[in-house]
């Protein structure tokens, strides 16, 4: 299938944009990346995502698609000749979607909440919840991977992308807080998984550098 008509509207620092970039790279799909400015949104963004007016937006021909996990499934369903992102097994697909939703709706928002928390007690409470979530994700990794290197087995897949897109911000938050989120004693599986994922060709040239994210956060908070 031709790829010259594939565009991605996004932000370099957005984990949701990174998520789509990972999927496109996994499928070896060439695309035009259009960097957006959310302080001055382009007419193209407002036209292609009039409901949420946010990135990422994936445009295939004249068909725009929003929401990163929906985009990933569309990519997987459309470019069927490349490596599969979602498992062919219905149960495995359902479990992967469950954990992806948990990550987006429950776990990652805690990292964002930590940045605005006031007082030691409030920060400590949020940090405890972050660690509790990582323990749950450690258990999910053990079950989903079946002793292999990624959530999806031998190769990067849906849940690896869903969680892996946040690793830049996880590392940035470690720098800013001085807290090591992925700990060998508590989450050894996730520690090894993160190292392997960040070294994988699908991810290593796509994931934003933690220090640049720290600089961006510091500038925006000033």
202 Cα distance to chain centroid:
13
pLDDT at residue 222, rounded to an integer:
65
The predicted-structure confidence for 139-196, as pLDDT tens digits, reads as follows 999 999 999 999 999 999 999 999 999 999 999 999 999 999 999 999 999 999 999 9
Burial 184-219 (b: 16+ CB within 10 A, else e): eeebebbbebbeebeebebbeebbbebeebbeebee
**Span 110-127, mean pLDDT?**
92
Which residues in the chain belong to E strands, given as ranges?
A: 6-10, 32-35, 57-60, 63-66
The mean predicted confidence, pLDDT, of the chain is: 95
CATH numbers and ranges of domains, the chain: 6-78 (3.40.30.10), 90-221 (1.20.1050.10)
Considering the entire predicted model, what is its pTM? Answer: 0.95
């Amino acid at each position: 299938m031709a790829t010259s008509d594939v565009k991605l509207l996004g932000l370099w620092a957005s984990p949701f944009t990174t998520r789509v970039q990972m999927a496109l790279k996994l499928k070896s799909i060439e695309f035009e990346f259009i960097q957006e400015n959310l302080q001055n949104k382009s007419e193209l963004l407002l036209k292609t995502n009039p409901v949420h007016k946010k990135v990422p937006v994936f445009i295939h021909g004249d068909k725009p698609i929003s929401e990163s996990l929906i985009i990933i499934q569309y990519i997987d369903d459309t470019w069927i000749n490349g490596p599969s992102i979602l498992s062919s097994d219905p149960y495995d697909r359902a479990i992967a979607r469950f954990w992806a939703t948990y990550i987006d709706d429950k776990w990652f928002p805690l990292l964002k909440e930590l940045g605005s928390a006031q007082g030691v007690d409030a920060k400590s409470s949020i940090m405890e919840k972050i660690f509790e979530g990582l323990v749950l994700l450690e258990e999910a990794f053990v079950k989903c991977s079946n002793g292999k290197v990624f959530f999806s087995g031998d190769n990067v897949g849906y849940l690896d992308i869903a969680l892996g897109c946040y690793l830049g911000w996880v590392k940035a938050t470690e720098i800013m807080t001085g807290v090591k989120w992925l700990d060998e004693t508590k989450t050894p599986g996730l520690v090894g998984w993160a190292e392997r994922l960040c070294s994988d060709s699908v991810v290593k040239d796509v994931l934003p550098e933690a220090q640049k994210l720290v600089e961006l956060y510091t500038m925006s908070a000033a």
